[in-house]
Amino acid sequence: MSSMISVSALRKTYKSGLVALDGVDLEIEKQEIFALLGPNGAGKTTLISIICGIVGIGSGTVRVGGHDITQDYRAARAMIGLVPQEISLDIFATVWNTVRFSRGLFGRRPDPAYVERLLHDLSLWDKRDRRVIELSGGMKRRVMIAKALSHEPQILFLDEPTAGVDVNLRRDMWALVRSLRDKGVTIILTTHYIEEAEEMSDRVGVIAGGRVLLVEKTVALMRKLGKRRLTLMLRHPLAYLPSGLDPWELELDQQGQVLTYAFDANAEDNGIPALLRRMAELGIDFHDLDTSRSSLEDIFVGLVEHAA
Amino acid sequence: MTPARLNRHAIWTIYRAEMARMRRTFWQSIATPVVTTVLYFVVFGGAIGSRIQHVGGVGYGAFIVPGLIMLTILTQSVSNASIGIYFPIFTKTIYEILAAPLSALEIVLAYVGAAATKSVVLALIILGTATFFAPLHILHPRWMVAFMLLTAITFSLFGFIIGIWAQNFEQLAIIPSLILTPLTFLGGAFYSIDMLPQPWRTLNLLNPVVYLVSGFRWSFFGTGEVGVRLSLAFTGVFMGICLAVVGWIFKTGYRLKP
């Protein structure tokens, strides 16, 4: 029972008949950063919205910190802070008031010192008396984050937090996410920036068509599914691949100057030393080489295509 | 199960934010109804009333006061409450209310409470204004306050329902202007329904506002077109219907939760 969030057999069909979630099981551990990846319409936002209480639960159960979100919704929701995808703010309220309002909604006593610290952390302190309508898009998003954190939640949901966000804010946001995790907060994010999920998250869940296709430690996932690629820049163009290189199943680009070799990063023998020896024997000379890992994006696209 | 403790902080937070919204739109919220009411007094009480003299033993100027106050309470309760809940739905900030550890009861208490407070404050301002235009003696002040509160709460509930039902600003405005104002005018705000010719008089007994105005007028002058018990019973029934609809809204998530 160490799961912070426990979702089982969750199904959701909207009134339009759209099946948004088709039997989701998911366990999220305390104090982890969990990235939910999926194409548009995969069910990411529906899943988050159900856990947070914004969308009605179809069937199945969801527990947050051990509290059932229907039976014990107060205890469950009190633990959660949510930053939705869309910026929705009372544009006439001041930054200070709107953040204080959020804290009050969660039944927390006013704590000006905490709110002040929060606004400092999000570079909003100077703008505290401004009305939301006067703020830039990036600042508004910071206000959304401040509101979500106003009641000191133990779980933070970030729905597409970096969509349309500049580099500064993105960097600040990730710094904040890491420091929150260090303080014991569990973070669940959805993102299209897969490099970020790869860089930020401890675990990744891939969701498509309302189903969770896999959940894996980010590192393990990379290792398990990650192919690596060796690219060789040839000194002299090749007209065709010599048959002596057949065992490696190489690819030659159209100009005949770049050779690519895809290999399993985890294999005992990746075949590279033998390849290089054979090339030397054949007199194929190269002036540069590069190796790269296939990104989570490749893995992700592969998985989703496979599932479709 | 969650212990049945009210999230008082949250109710107070929403209530205060709603009251702050009224202060922000001060002229719209306070001044417009007051100006309109003064106009009614000048036109109906002053210009026309000088030719009518008495209705049921009460000077015409005083006679229309309860009707005017009722008119204000009805329209203000409905529009305050409907805008109060429609605004967050429209701006999508409702997500925050739905995601907060709040029960339906607490949400309703906060929004309906704020809307009812506003309309009662307005009603009192208008009552104060009225004393400049007509000699007033309130026979049953406690009942007057009770009627005022009951009507304000009931119609704020009604407005809350409309605010959730409305899908655009036109729909938001249509109920107050197309149904409420005509019913109030026909309901005897400016005359005794006994003055109506048949069959209008009998037909008007189907008009709920008749009972509200009549009961309210009784609390001022001790007389009304229909019995005070009937007035109270009617208001109670309408409140019960509104509460049932609000309960259904939260149970099914109608237009709040997909």
Q: Is A57 on the interface with B (CB under 8 A)?
A: no
Class of domain A3-222: alpha beta
CATH 3.40.50.300 residue spans of chain A: 3-222
Mean pLDDT of successive 10-residue stretches along chain B, which has 258 residues:
69 92 76 81 74 74 86 90 93 93 92 94 88 83 92 94 91 85 81 79 83 88 80 89 93 83
Q: Whole-prediction pTM value?
A: 0.84
pLDDT score at B64: 84
Interface of A with B in 90-109 (CB under 8 A): 90-93, 97, 101-102, 104-109
pLDDT score at B2: 43
DSSP A2-66: -EEEEEEEEEEE-TTS-EEEEEEEEEEETT-EEEEE--TTSSHHHHHHHHHTSS---EEEEEETT
Does the domain made of A227-307 have the CATH classification 3.40.50? no
Helix axes B104-130, B141-165, angle to 10 degrees: 130
Q: Read off the pLDDT of residues A148-163 as tens digits, 9 standing for 90 and up.
A: 999 999 999 999 888 7
| Burial letters A6-43, b for 16+ CB under 10 A, else e | bbeebebeeeeeeebbeebebbbeebbbbbbbbeeebb
| B100 contacts A106? CB cut-off 8 A | yes
Q: Is A133 on the interface with B (CB under 8 A)?
A: no
Mean pLDDT (chain A) is: 89
Chosen for mutation from A105, A147, A155 (greatest number of chain B CBs closer than 10 Å) is A105
Q: Is B93 on the interface with A (CB under 8 A)?
A: yes
| A54 contacts B257? CB cut-off 8 A | yes
* Residues contacting residue B100 through CB under 8 Å, at least 6 positions apart: A77, A105, A106, B7, B10
Q: Read off the pLDDT of residues A263-291 as tens digits, 9 standing for 90 and up.
A: 876 677 888 889 999 999 988 999 999 88
Residues of chain A contacting B92 with CB distance shorter than 8 Å: 86, 88
Q: Read off the pLDDT of residues A32-91 as tens digits, 9 standing for 90 and up.
A: 999 998 888 889 999 999 999 999 998 999 999 999 999 999 999 999 999 999 999 999
| B91 contacts A90? CB cut-off 8 A | yes
CATH 3.30.70 residue spans of chain A: 227-307
Residue in B closest to A74 by C-alpha: B101
